[in-house]
């Protein structure tokens, strides 16, 4: 149930030599990236350096009515952003892309990730007279880039210099008056790629599925540490920060965040999930009659488990597709009613059967426990849960909300204890060794599974916890 | 792509001995029936005979904010309705349930189906001085029942008498000041069932999945021709019209309309679809590497095809779950862009493979052609389409919008011609003989597939066409 | 403070020989009649007999966005309605104009007034099989007219016959497929007039100010009891019911409801109010330094009082023009805060002065008491209240909400008692004898002031009260 | 028709020793100041230094639903703002109060006025690394204050220092974590005053009418150049900048912007307008039968004209009070239709009469011409226009939108020419000498009437024009 874990953002940018409906293209691109953030979104269009923007809380479809989109007009460059965040009256100030109006060079900036030295940077900037309107990292990045811009003759060079200052996870789509710039941090924590349309427009996107959504052909991923600029001069790349450190792409992009039809750093997300399911079947086999996945994120791994184990694959649940994120139950609803209206078991699939139920994670465990109960009510005689990732035990500092210990069921509990809590006959997690989507055994950040932090982390480590975590299996 | 064919309605009713949150229960029930109609919805609550209602265009989640729902208050009986229909400023008048205020007995009425003698009845009523505020059949039914109510001492008796007058398809949830009445036409065209909650509330629903949504236990289907009344006196049934004609349940409920987790007249919808896929594999086998389903309606039959054919099942598409029914593309979008943003192939599933693509129907064929093109772009070397229902050739008069000939690709074309138009290597439809969900070879209306109309149909048969329809296969 | 008393409705209709923007004209006309009803509004357009409509709760400006108005399209006839009514989720069913679809003749009907035999008519209709969707009189009128239409060869004749059946107050704008019909009840309780535009379009309106709003020239008032039809055949009049009874135009139209720039039955509303103020000065003179009016309804009479008494006229209050009808004060506001934010005294006008404060009525008295207190706080040394109408003592059955006794301060109290409650130094009401706007001493309904009911009133006289009412003055 | 000229802003602030509904008080205060700006509004609440805010485009009543207001919670300090500005998708960024989050001291700032050295300041700040999110002066002020705050030990001292840097018109309400600070520029261009409630809360407001709206007692105006701080330490004042230059209060505050019930710098706005009308009658007498004012801004001066001239005062127009600022006419409306629906003459006042029509200004003249035409259509035999201010000839740099020459009818035309254009029998403007609201002949900024600019103005004087302006009268 990784529905309880959230990616922070998705970015999309377009560069066209001539005036075009770049806003419309960003709109389509963001539609394909909506799964990366549903709290707010925004688009900024540049028509030869004159910026128009619209940003608000809500889904792409709510925020951008046809009239709103038309009002952005045509232009030659545009950047867009979808964002996850906490709700609240004032959070509109945190909507992206961030726009900066400056005599030297105005810019708009869309950011996916999280800085690890944000607080220190902010303190220094404020002491130099800077004022902040929001609490987002992105405003800090904007300040640092603008500060460097005063010392350098071009935006890419300013960004190159800013990369010496900012630390942590960042995939950026930056727009100036005459160029679109894609930036990926040296660790390559978050994905970023680009492609080209038949009309010769360059598109930058968090995931390749967004390139397909606008009919663009994938060219390549931005390398960790690379700055790629699109302008009248063509495509130029600055690689000074490439290779500065080991690549540590977020493993949870493969497990849950990214769309299965995306290919990231050469690996198909769908295939990665099928492989996880197959590895899981090898690690934690069980005698059963049917393998089912918890929609939507457990489906691919369930199919992999079935393929490896030869136990038939079945469709175990119907998910109500009319339940939006604002779904509110009337009266004083218990959590069970809420799950029940979202997810209903198909009795004919599970009745009288020994069921293997595959999901991609267990966060708090509450929802898993309810689903298991629903399966038993529908007649399942055994329920064996298999999780296509290791247990969460450590917080994430790189742009997801895998948080403090007390909210993670695996943090202070053994697998046996967890199995008991959620009421399954057996439980098996994928082991950390099997989390290998590149097939080469390296190149991933597995910090949230206890795999170690690839960078310095903030001093104030209030999120941390080290003891007693679940790490194996009880089957 | 039965997404192009629409069911007209879903109904839900609750009877409680004591004041309860009956509006909240109907709300949950309608949430589970939302797939049966997304144009408008409504709930009417009776608090000891005093009606409160709210009805509007839109989805349940849009129309019923928590405040709106609270405003309905508690009560002992409630009925609700979801409706499909054409959009338009004035269609609010057609929202249901219909409320009738009358000195003899006020009532609220939710209807799923379509009368075949509506025009004649309306003419007669108008000549007697009746005035109509809407163009819906349901207002006609309300008139007939109220007319009979003046002659009979109870609502169920009035309805029993009205059933001699109205002809066609109707599953009704009717509320008077002290009873909830479920009515199903003698042919049993549309489903209707009832159950009971732990608290002893009776619930009437178009489909059993809605009973589960409110935590109610399924008791039984309403029989074709039966009137079941729930009141302080308990549950009473009038069966005068049962057996008056052969049962002819709409076969398309199994193929597309109903939710897979529903069980209708004893048959699991999910199982029916799996069986169709298996029958299809027997009828139209092909050598291939992977079987994929077109989401969402082709998934179950694809799994059945895979089970029977032993060709591996794969996940062929990602459907964008943020695309609502009001999805509007900016600018002058072609249909292909619209399909592309909704449905993206997973390259790793189909690249270099011979693909069997299963769907539940082909209506106009335009969307199918685009999907096939997307699959080939993603690298599929062969595409074999299999359809888990016979071709549509005749219009429906019983409550769906399977319409006039010119919109149905199969109406004047052979299977070979259709295959060419949609660009597949082979095409196979399920034959009419294999449409047998009860396993007994009877009891279904297959009029839309040319299986003959089980009742008189309206004289003005402008929808009709008879010649040249697709009927076999080209593989 | 007649803001506490409400008119029920305003009507507007347009007839054009050729297709024109009749919806736009009705929109403008209703804008000018908005003061007659702010709860809901609607427009129905006929394009050669094909009706399009839009009706909803809210002000004209809220309900009719440019898009909504465009969607009504052009046509040759249109009718519109503004309505006052109680709020509530279900009252959308009571929005007008009422549309009736009938094989003999469809029609749309906008009604201002109130029937006195509505309940009896409704009972009879229901026993004949009629069903009602709303609780409004207008649906009853629609039934009666349609019933007569089956027996007569034209709509005006059917209406002429219906006028024998319906009793009470009604000014109607009725639209059929080829004519616009204006109808005024034999007593002429509510105003109704018509005019013609430069383009030859006929307009029917509740008040002449609405004719000016569309640039039409006033032709004449519809006579009490008259039916005037506008069609291709020109203007035809049926006068069978004219003179059937004495004309008894509602006197409160002059005192409060109508706009001062309207002329009704030959009398300028503004002049009528100036005259009331002058009569009031003669009846209840007082020594004072300044005469002020309570905005907006007391301004005209205050000017009259000043003209007659030679006491200087001053501007006593600023009314906050941004306070809409949905004004809600935060927290737990007392009524005084609410008045204070709406109406603030101008200190420089009243400080150290003896003030005559003129208003058109006192309903509950609560607001008057607060206003008087505000004046004293601002430094007024004496406050003498003068009311330009007699005290309310009887309920109205003809289309206003002057209601039951307990809500009327004058009902069981003497003028002295009222003066004490509202805290004034003296209080004087206009006497019934001086309520003579035609200058001929007759032709008005003054039932609410105890002047006697000009028709039979409903049996169930729950609104009545007879004793102890205020009738004179205490000064 | 000063409706065509706009004030930029209104500010309101509250300081309470204890937690209170300070948001609710600001809400009421802003309601009373809504006339100073209708484009956007906002409130920021401090609960012991923790800020909550809500700001958006729209009127107070639209932006602050009860839920929105509740969400701001209670606090001890709050500031609010209403703003006029050009509409547009991106202008939400310009909503005030501006919030600044800074380690040294966070603050919220509401500003009424306009800096004259804004561009130069901004250039300097940007070269030092500052980035701007908006185009408003207020962000510049925030930067300057924050920059000074780093050098000074308290916010009032920082502001005192900032006042050496910023030039032009500014009345500010500033909130820090523990104090509310009121600041007025040394010229005193815009009004600002404070008062105290019964509960001991201090309120700062642009106009005294807003103090009355919250039940506060007026204490005094903030002096030009003064800084007044409200905190636990009580009320402290810094007067270093007082007397630095001559006071030059904007004369148009008296003529049009301020509410008549406000008293500014000791002068009643209502009285000032009455006096203008009296001076006008002395300067430009005429034989006539009635004096009428153009609502709302011409009413007070018309009464003064009548008082001085002894020509009877009459009510000449009814203004449609349901026309909001978003009023849109259907189809292709001419300007005349738009005026006609807003303002209708009362025939009985003007028919057959020689009319003196008083307004407070003529901007473009288009609307005046239409109104004069409407009066003649209603039967006025002569129309003499009197304007209670001198003609506009110069742009304003101090916070109103009296703009470039080409939009001002008086800029290149004589009074005779203007009289001809608007179609009056005579026209008279108040002379610059008579613009003396303090009775002492000094202390006002009359720059827009050619009275000279009291400060340096921006170099880029694109708004300027000097020749041929109207300056006298033609009668």
Cα(C350)–Cα(C289) distance, integer angstroms:
9
Calculate how close chain B gets to C158, using CA atoms only, in Å: 13
pLDDT number for residue C473:
43
Q: How confident is the model at residue B404 (pLDDT cuts 50, 70, 90)?
A: low
Mean pLDDT on A428-446: 81
Which residue in chain B is spatially nearest to A315 when comparing CA positions? B300
Calculate how close chain A gets to B318, using CA atoms only, in Å: 6
| pLDDT above 90 (res A296) | no
Which residues does chain D have within 8 Å of residue A131's beta carbon, measured at their own beta carbons? Answer: 100-102, 130, 142-143, 146
The dihedrals phi and psi of D27, each to the nearest 5 degrees, come to: -55, -50
Nearest to A11 by CA among A108, A82, A67, A70: A82
| pLDDT above 80 (res C85) | no
- Smallest Cβ distance to B28: which of A34, A321, A341? A341
CB-side neighbour CA atoms (13 Å) of B128: 16
Cα(D315)–Cα(D308) distance, integer angstroms:
17
Rg (C-alpha) for chain C, rounded Å, is 23
pLDDT in tens, A261-274: 999 999 999 999 99
Residue A459 Cα distances to A116, A119, A455, A464, angstroms? 9, 10, 12, 11
What tokens does D185 get?
Answer: 């520029």
What tokens does B382 get?
Answer: 């062969």
**Chains A and D are touching, with contact defined as 3 or more CB–CB pairs separated by less than 8 Å:** yes
Contact B127 C103 (CB under 8 A): yes
Which residues does chain D have within 8 Å of residue C217's beta carbon, measured at their own beta carbons? Answer: none
Are A336 and A386 in contact by the 8 Å Cβ rule? The answer is: no
Of the candidate ranges C55-64, C141-150, D402-411, the one whose mean pLDDT is the lowest: D402-411
CA D197, D202, D206: angle at the middle one, nearest 5?
Answer: 100
Q: How confident is the model at residue B406 (pLDDT cuts 50, 70, 90)?
A: low
Are C188 and C265 in contact by the 8 Å Cβ rule? The answer is: yes
- Burial class of residue D302, CB neighbours in 10 A (0-12, 13-18, 19+): buried
Calculate how close chain B gets to A392, using CA atoms only, in Å: 27
pLDDT in tens, C211-253: 999 999 999 999 999 999 999 999 999 999 999 889 999 998 9
Which residue in chain C is spatially nearest to D209 when comparing CA positions? C344
What tokens does A79 get?
Answer: 């950047």
Which residues does chain C have within 8 Å of residue D318's beta carbon, measured at their own beta carbons? Answer: 209, 259-261
| pLDDT above 80 (res C438) | no
Are A28 and B341 in contact by the 8 Å Cβ rule? The answer is: yes
Residue B37 Cα distances to A281, B86, B148, C307, D437, angstroms? 41, 11, 30, 67, 69
Q: How confident is the model at residue A310 (pLDDT cuts 50, 70, 90)?
A: very high
Contact B330 A21 (CB under 8 A): yes
Which residue in chain D is spatially nearest to C271 when comparing CA positions? D348
| 3-class DSSP state of B209 | helix
C126 and chain B: CB distance < 8 Å anywhere?
yes
C53 and chain B: CB distance < 8 Å anywhere?
yes
Question: Bigger pLDDT: B379 or B87?
Answer: B379
A461 and chain D: CB distance < 8 Å anywhere?
no
| pLDDT above 90 (res C104) | no
List CB contacts of A82: < 8 A, sequence separation 6 or more.
A9, A10, A30, A33, A34, A36, A37, A38, A40, A41, A60
Exposure string over C6-32, b if 16+ CB within 10 A, otherwise e: bbbbbbbbbbbeeebbbbbbbbbbbbb
pLDDT number for residue A116:
92
Place of tokens 């609960």: D47
pLDDT number for residue B439:
66
Q: How confident is the model at residue C294 (pLDDT cuts 50, 70, 90)?
A: very high
Contact B129 C135 (CB under 8 A): no
Nearest to B257 by CA among B6, B4, B1: B6
DSSP B326-359: T---SSS--HHHHHHHHEEE-HHHHTT-EEEEEE
Residue D9 annotated among the catalytic residues of the structure: yes
pLDDT number for residue A89:
37
Cα(A48)–Cα(A69) distance, integer angstroms:
18
| pLDDT above 60 (res A460) | no
Chain centroid offset of residue B280 CA: 23
- Identify the H or E element spanning B305: helix B299-309
Interface of C with D in 368-387 (CB under 8 A): none
pLDDT in tens, A336-380: 888 888 999 999 999 999 999 999 999 888 899 999 999 999 999
C67 and chain B: CB distance < 8 Å anywhere?
no
Contact C135 B104 (CB under 8 A): no
C86 and chain B: CB distance < 8 Å anywhere?
no
State the CB neighbour count (10 A cutoff) for residue B461: 10
Exposure string over D367-385, b if 16+ CB within 10 A, otherwise e: bbbbbbbbbbebebebbbb
What tokens does C270 get?
Answer: 């503004």
Q: How confident is the model at residue A4 (pLDDT cuts 50, 70, 90)?
A: low
Contact A270 B326 (CB under 8 A): no
- Smallest Cβ distance to C89: which of B68, B101, B132? B68
| pLDDT above 50 (res A9) | yes
Which residue in chain D is spatially nearest to C28 when comparing CA positions? D341
Contact A270 B346 (CB under 8 A): yes
pLDDT in tens, D385-443: 999 999 988 888 888 877 666 677 888 889 999 999 999 999 999 998 888 776 666 68
Calculate how close chain C gets to B91, using CA atoms only, in Å: 10
Calculate how close chain D gets to A150, using CA atoms only, in Å: 7
List CB contacts of B47: < 8 A, sequence separation 6 or more.
B19, B73, B74, B75, B76
DSSP state of D7: B
> Which of A430-439, B167-176, C120-129 shows the highest mean pLDDT?
B167-176
Cα(D305)–Cα(D291) distance, integer angstroms:
7
Which residues does chain D have within 8 Å of residue A103's beta carbon, measured at their own beta carbons? Answer: 122-123, 126-127
| pLDDT above 50 (res A259) | yes
Which residue in chain D is spatially nearest to A96 when comparing CA positions? D133
pLDDT number for residue A394:
86
D199 and chain C: CB distance < 8 Å anywhere?
no
Cα(D142)–Cα(D100) distance, integer angstroms:
7
C150 and chain B: CB distance < 8 Å anywhere?
yes
Contact B102 C143 (CB under 8 A): no
pLDDT number for residue B297:
85
| pLDDT above 70 (res C287) | yes
pLDDT number for residue D2:
56
pLDDT number for residue A472:
42
Which residues does chain D have within 8 Å of residue C323's beta carbon, measured at their own beta carbons? Answer: 31, 61
Nearest to B293 by CA among B254, B349, B253, B341: B349
pTM as predicted: 0.86
Which residues does chain D have within 8 Å of residue A66's beta carbon, measured at their own beta carbons? Answer: none
Q: What value does the mean pLDDT of chain B take?
A: 89
pLDDT number for residue C475:
46
Q: Taking each helix axis from N to C terminus, what angle separates A366-377 and A415-422, rounded to the nearest 10 degrees?
A: 50
CA A409, A412, A413: angle at the middle one, nearest 5?
Answer: 70
**Chains D and B are touching, with contact defined as 3 or more CB–CB pairs separated by less than 8 Å:** no
Optimal mutation site among D78, D198, D302, D330, interface C, most CBs of chain C within 10 A:
D330
Exposure string over A308-344, b if 16+ CB within 10 A, otherwise e: bbebbbbbbbbebebbbeeeebbbeeeeebbbbbbbb
Are B222 and B163 in contact by the 8 Å Cβ rule? The answer is: no
Are A205 and A11 in contact by the 8 Å Cβ rule? The answer is: yes
B/C interface, count of CB pairs below 8 Å: 84
Cα(B211)–Cα(C245) distance, integer angstroms:
63
The dihedrals phi and psi of B354, each to the nearest 5 degrees, come to: -90, 120
Calculate how close chain D gets to A271, using CA atoms only, in Å: 43
Q: Find the DSSP H helices in D83-169.
A: 118-127, 137-149, 155-162
D4 and chain C: CB distance < 8 Å anywhere?
no
A/D interface, count of CB pairs below 8 Å: 86
For chain C, what percent of residues have pLDDT higher than 70?
Answer: 89
| pLDDT above 90 (res B392) | no
Whether this model's ipTM surpasses 0.85 comes out as yes
Contact B90 C54 (CB under 8 A): yes
- Smallest Cβ distance to B331: which of A24, A59, A328? A24
pLDDT number for residue D88:
36
Which residue in chain C is spatially nearest to D266 when comparing CA positions? C348
pLDDT number for residue C311:
98
pLDDT in tens, D312-371: 999 999 999 888 655 666 665 677 888 888 999 999 999 999 999 999 999 888 899 999
Interface of D with C in 284-303 (CB under 8 A): 296, 299-300, 303
Of the candidate ranges A194-198, B295-299, C6-10, D411-415, the one whose mean pLDDT is the lowest: C6-10
CA B137, B139, B143: angle at the middle one, nearest 5?
Answer: 115
Contact A322 B213 (CB under 8 A): no
| pLDDT above 60 (res B259) | yes
- Smallest Cβ distance to C131: which of B92, B123, B143? B143
Of the candidate ranges B306-315, C39-48, C87-96, the one whose mean pLDDT is the lowest: C87-96
Neighbours of chain B (3+ CB pairs under 8 A): A, C
CA D20, D26, D31: angle at the middle one, nearest 5?
Answer: 140
pLDDT number for residue D467:
37
| pLDDT above 70 (res B28) | yes
| pLDDT above 80 (res A406) | no
pLDDT in tens, B4-13: 666 579 999 9
Neighbours of chain C (3+ CB pairs under 8 A): B, D
Blockwise average pLDDT, block size 10, chain D, 475 residues? 68 96 95 92 93 90 87 95 62 83 91 92 91 85 95 96 96 97 97 96 98 95 98 96 92 91 95 95 98 94 97 96 69 76 94 97 90 96 97 86 71 91 97 77 84 82 40 44
| 3-class DSSP state of B37 | coil
Rg (C-alpha) for chain A, rounded Å, is 23
Place of tokens 């009746």: B130
For chain D, what percent of residues have pLDDT higher than 70?
Answer: 89
D52 and chain A: CB distance < 8 Å anywhere?
yes
Which residues does chain A have within 8 Å of residue D53's beta carbon, measured at their own beta carbons? Answer: 89-90
The dihedrals phi and psi of C332, each to the nearest 5 degrees, come to: -110, 75
């Amino acid at each position: 149930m990784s529905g309880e874990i959230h990616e922070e953002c998705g970015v999309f940018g377009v560069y066209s030599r001539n005036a075009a409906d770049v806003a419309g293209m960003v709109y389509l691109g963001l539609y394909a990236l909506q799964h990366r953030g549903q709290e707010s979104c925004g688009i900024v269009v540049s028509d030869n350096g004159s910026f128009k923007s619209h940003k608000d809380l809500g889904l792409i479809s709510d925020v951008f009515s046809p009239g709103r989109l038309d009002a952005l007009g045509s232009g030659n460059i545009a950047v867009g952003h979808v964002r996850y965040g906490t709700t609240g009256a004032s959070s509109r100030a945190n909507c992206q892309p961030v726009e900066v109006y400056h005599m030297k060079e105005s810019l708009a900036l869309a950011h996916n990730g999280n800085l690890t030295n944000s607080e220190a940077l902010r303190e220094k900037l404020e002491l130099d007279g800077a004022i902040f309107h929001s609490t987002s990292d992105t405003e800090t990045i904007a300040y640092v880039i603008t500060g460097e811009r005063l010392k350098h003759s071009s935006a890419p060079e300013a960004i190159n210099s800013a990369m010496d200052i900012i630390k942590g996870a960042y995939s950026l789509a930056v727009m100036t008056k005459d160029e679109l710039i894609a930036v990926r941090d040296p660790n390559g924590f978050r994905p970023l790629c680009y492609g080209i349309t038949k009309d010769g427009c360059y598109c930058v996107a968090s995931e390749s599925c967004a390139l397909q959504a606008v009919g663009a052909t994938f060219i390549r991923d931005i390398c960790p540490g690379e700055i790629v600029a699109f302008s009248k001069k063509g495509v130029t790349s600055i690689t000074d920060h490439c290779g500065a450190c080991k690549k540590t792409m977020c493993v949870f992009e493969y497990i849950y965040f990214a769309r299965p039809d995306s290919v990231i750093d050469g690996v198909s997300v769908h295939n990665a999930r099928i492989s996880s399911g197959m590895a899981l079947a090898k690690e934690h086999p069980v005698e059963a009659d049917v393998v089912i996945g918890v929609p939507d994120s457990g489906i691919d791994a369930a199919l992999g488990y079935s393929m490896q184990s030869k136990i038939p694959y079945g469709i175990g649940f119907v998910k109500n597709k009319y339940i939006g994120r604002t779904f509110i139950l009337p009266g004083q609803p218990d959590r069970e009613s809420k799950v029940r209206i979202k997810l209903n078991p198909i009795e004919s699939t599970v009745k009288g059967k020994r069921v293997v139920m595959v999901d991609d994670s267990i966060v708090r465990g509450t929802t898993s426990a309810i689903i298991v109960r629903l399966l038993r009510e529908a007649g399942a005689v055994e329920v064996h849960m298999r999780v296509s990732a290791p247990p969460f035990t450590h917080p994430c500092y790189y742009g997801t909300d895998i948080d403090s210990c007390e909210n993670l069921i695996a943090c202070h509990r053994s697998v046996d204890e967890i199995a008991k809590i959620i009421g399954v006959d057996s439980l098996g997690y994928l082991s950390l060794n099997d989390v290998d989507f590149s097939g080469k055994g390296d190149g991933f950040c597995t910090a949230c599974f206890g795999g170690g932090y690839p960078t310095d982390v903030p001093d104030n480590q209030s999120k941390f916890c080290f003891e007693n975590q679940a790490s194996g299996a009880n089957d």
